Copies of this chain bind each other. A is one copy, B any other.
Amino acid sequence: MSVVPQSLAELLPEALHVQCYTADVPKGGWLFHLGDAPQWMFYVAGGEVVLERMGPQGTVLVLQRQRSGFVAEASLHAARYHCDARVTRPAQIVRLPLRALNEALATDAAFALRWIAMLNAEVRRLRQQCERLSLKRVQDRLLHWLGSAASPGPAVPVGGVKSLAAELGVSHEALYRCIADLEAAGQLQRTAQGVWRIASDGAAPAQRPAGRLGTPSGC
């Protein structure tokens, strides 16, 4: 979508490549817990990782759902983690030592600029997320999410309806019902495992002309 380096190899300078260590983490595993002192920077190359934070009475709040990219980028200089990182789908995780990363950023201005570009992208994504959460109706949030899901074609990969519901800040029941409605209206088709196909825009103007945003974009 922009000038952001696509792959980890393009982003990191040569010197850091050797410092990277890749591992497979099974579902249910953890990258870090609340209160831990950050030692590594984690990159999700595959699978799914969720940043969570517990409410008082056991309510789980989902802060981030990452399927390709860094997790908790902002922990660069943080003294402690303020949330948990849980693996919700068997994931390939690349980790690199924070110390080396910091040194590289402090000395390699070109690398720092690439890192800034990545952070800019994250800021935009978060603004989109806020924009989405500002919408009241579940259908609006889902359509907004479908619109901002950067994917080649009309097919959108979805990593589990329940975790999507958490990301949208909605009960999973409501989301299931919303999906069913959209499917009945012909605006959505569920195909393979976790992949949806969206009806070409303008096809079925049936249901609700209200509450649609244009293509969302995080400022």
Q: Which residues in A have some Cβ–Cβ distance to B below 8 Å?
A: 2-3, 51, 53, 55-57, 61-64, 72-78, 81-83, 105-110, 112-113, 115-117, 119-124, 126-127, 129-131, 133-134, 169, 210-214, 217-219
CB distance from A73 to the nearest CB of B (A): 6
The reply to whether A63 and B218 contact each other, CB–CB distance below 8 Å, is yes
The reply to whether A120 and B76 contact each other, CB–CB distance below 8 Å, is yes
Per the bound structure, the CA–CA distance linking A108 and B105 in Å amounts to 11
Chain B residues within an 8 Å CB radius of A213:
55-56, 61
The reply to whether A119 and B112 contact each other, CB–CB distance below 8 Å, is no
Contacting residue for A126 out of B3, B53, B127, CB 8 A: B127
The reply to whether B78 and A2 contact each other, CB–CB distance below 8 Å, is yes
CB distance from A57 to the nearest CB of B (A): 7
The reply to whether B219 and A63 contact each other, CB–CB distance below 8 Å, is yes
Contacting residue for A113 out of B53, B105, B122, CB 8 A: B105
Contacting residue for A83 out of B55, B113, B219, CB 8 A: B219
Listed by A's residue number, 21 A-B pairs whose Cβ atoms lie within 8 Å are A2-B77, A55-B213, A56-B210, A56-B214, A61-B131, A61-B134, A62-B134, A63-B219, A72-B219, A73-B120, A74-B121, A77-B120, A78-B120, A82-B217, A107-B109, A109-B109, A109-B112, A119-B119, A119-B120, A122-B123, A134-B169
The reply to whether A126 and B131 contact each other, CB–CB distance below 8 Å, is no
Name the CB-closest residue of B to A122: B123
Per the bound structure, the CA–CA distance linking A37 and B133 in Å amounts to 27
Tell me whether A77 and B109 are in contact in the complex, defined as CB-CB below 8 angstroms, given that A63-B131, A123-B126, A130-B63 are known contacts.
Answer: no
Chain B residues within an 8 Å CB radius of A53:
131, 219
